[in-house]
Amino acid sequence: MRVTPGRCLLRQLLKDKGVSQSWLADQTGLTEQKISNYITGHAKMGYSTAVSIALTLGVHAEDLYEHIKEH
């Protein structure tokens, strides 16, 4: 079974945690524009970025995207 990332769930995670894109940018060293690009689907996170964001938010990297199972 192969799994590919679907829609980015970062917007909802930020809302659930009560933090802003600006806060996440400050904590991770990423730009707000880059975070916005992840949220809107204009960019996909690399592994190290996903882990950094996940650790900052206290979630697992797998929680950042919906998962699409391919057969």
Above 80 in pLDDT, residue 71? no
Above 80 in pLDDT, residue 68? yes
Give residue-wise pLDDT tens across range 18-66.
999 999 999 999 999 999 999 999 999 999 999 999 999 999 999 999 9
Residue 61 CA to residue 71 CA, distance in Å, equals 22
Quickly state the pLDDT bin for 67 (edges 50, 70, 90). confident
Average pLDDT of the residues in 10-18: 97
pTM (predicted TM-score): 0.88
Q: Are 5 and 67 in contact (CB under 8 A)?
A: yes
CATH topology of domain 2-70: 434 Repressor (Amino-terminal Domain) (1.10.260)
pLDDT of residue 12: 97
